Amino acid sequence: MTDALPIVIVGAGPAGIRAAEQMVEAGIRPIVLDEGLRAGGQIYRRPMIDDGRSYRNRYGSEARKAEQLHAAFERLRPAIEYRPETLAWNVSGQERGGHLDMMTDGVHNQIAFSKLLLCTGATDRVLPFPGWTRPGVFTLGAAQTALKAQGCTVGDRLVFMGSGPLLYLVAWQYMKAGATVAAVLDTAPLRSKIHLVSLFARAPRIVALGLFYGAQLQLSGVKIRYGVRPETVIGADRVEGIRFQASGCTQELECDAIAYGFALRPETQLADLAGCRFRFEDRDRTWLPERDALGRTSRKDVYVSGDGSGIAGADAAEIDGQLAALAILNDVGKTVEGDRLRQLMAARARILRQREILENAFPFPRDWFETVPAETTLCRCEEISIGEIRRAVEAGNIGEINRMKALSRVGMGRCQGRMCSVAATEVLRSIRNVEPQETGRLRAQAPVKPIPLGFGGPLDREAGR
């Protein structure tokens, strides 16, 4: 009976689209849903309405891949059930008999699935510093989304700060778009870039592109600083500049916008709600659903793929989506070509090795909270400062993140810790002087994102019944 139930894919980014394609080839009609208005995911995000810009203009070096992915999706449209603007906010039911709770245009809906593939991607990883909540401070990804999807910049004179490959890319994209880039403030030390040398042997294109962005920025007179720690955003009501430490001295720069971030954090709440087992991944410094090489989780009917199962980038996501689809096809009794499986697995493994090196070249600032003052807000939803957290942790003798949430309210607000739990973990870790995995994992609760109270009529189906 359950075989008649649909296969559902959450997320129409590179992973989700390639997975759907693979299933359609095998004669299956999956349901594909995505919160966004148009398919494409994060890197190949499309504007709400076409604005006449060329692919080259919008996606730069990745134009060809973007065009191919979008074209692939358009070809798939008649062969899949596509539900755009649909938020998946809960997975209920136990093994066999799972349901996905969704909301489309404010209306609730629940579907029973036979297989659920989560391709939920990632969002920016941010850490607090004095002034980070002031108007004019953006994440790197948001700054880029403004360019790609809205065709506008977030400022005229910008400072880019943080760590990760996106840092130089987005700065370069802004320069290309005609904005003034005041500086790129890399929080990693210059010596970390030595790892790019070993990466060159494995992935010359990535390194060449990176060097190209860096060189073009420098040639245009953009200041690049390494080993940076921000002191504060300057400006009372909005960004007027930034004060920071680099090479042992304090410096100031004028700007009207700051874009910053530290690579990405995966979206794993649905896998958590589905009851998948998690493990700590040191590379991403976070908890990830346990998965095999193809994306099977500890729950038989739930699969994960792409950045939402561990950050590996868009190329890996395209491969990973196909792998997860092949796993599902195999598990529903279709024949899967062994050679193809092995090829894809080898390609994914290659990218994962590159990812290790990239992580060394753009390391996460593990000592961040040694310099951020106590009055800095950490949890924006509940307006909790680092000092308040510290007091709660010390008063309650807390060493575990869910206890910290209960006693300090961090992660209890609208974002439910999606945005602040990286920082919250780092704070707790630094107070306790332990490794992040020792502080435990913040448990997800439905809904994954806020939903309106009047979101639909009474439900006719009970979870798991």
- Contacts with ligand FAD by CB under 6 A lie at 10-16, 33-36, 41-43, 87-88, 119-124, 141, 144-145, 166, 169, 264, 267, 270, 306-308, 313-314, 317, 448
Nearer to ligand FAD among residue 119 and residue 389 (C-beta): 119
Binding segment (CB under 8 A) for another protein, from list 29-37, 331-339, 431-439, 441-449:
441-449
Q: What DSSP state is assigned to residue 442?
A: P
Here the tokens at position 36 are 């966004």
Based on CB atoms, which residue is closest to another protein, 312 or 384? Answer: 384
Q: From 15, 364, 347, 343, select the one nearest 202 (Cα to Cα).
A: 347
Q: Which does 400 bind (CB under 5 to 8 A by kind): another protein, ligand FAD, none?
A: another protein
Element (DSSP H or E) covering residue 385: strand 384-385
Q: For residue 148, what is the DSSP state?
A: I
Q: How far is the CB of 271 from ligand FAD (least distance, A)?
A: 11
**CA 366 to CA 20: how far, in whole Å?**
38
For ligand FAD, which is the closer residue by CB, 150 or 247? 150
Round to the nearest angstrom and report the end-to-end CA distance of the chain.
15
Q: Are 219 and 213 in contact (CB under 8 A)?
A: no
Residues paired with 250 in a beta bridge: 245
Work out what residue 275 binds among another protein, ligand FAD, none; the CB cut-off runs from 5 to 8 Å by kind. Answer: another protein
365 binds, among ligand FAD, another protein, none (CB under 5 to 8 A by kind): none
Find which of ligand FAD, another protein, none residue 332 binds, CB within 5 to 8 Å per kind.
none
Size of the site for another protein (CB under 8 A): 40
Binding of another protein by 78 (CB under 8 A): no
In the complex, minimum distance from the CB of residue 391 to another protein, in angstroms, rounded to a whole number:
13
Kindly list the distances between the CA atom of residue 98 and the CA atoms of 168, 269, 304, in Å, as whole numbers in the listed order. 43, 16, 15
Nearer CB in complex with another protein: 332/415: 415
Integer Cα distance of 229 and 326 in angstroms: 45
Q: 186: which strand partners?
A: 162
The CA-CA-CA angle for residues 382, 387, 390, to 5°, reads 95
Would you call the peptide bond into 30 cis, given omega within 30 degrees of 0 as the criterion?
Answer: no
Q: Which is nearer to ligand FAD, 28 or 33 (CB)?
A: 33
Chain positions contacting another protein, by CB under 8 A: 90, 92, 94, 99, 101, 108, 110, 273, 275, 382, 395-397, 400, 402-403, 406-407, 412-414, 416, 443, 445-447, 450-459, 461-464
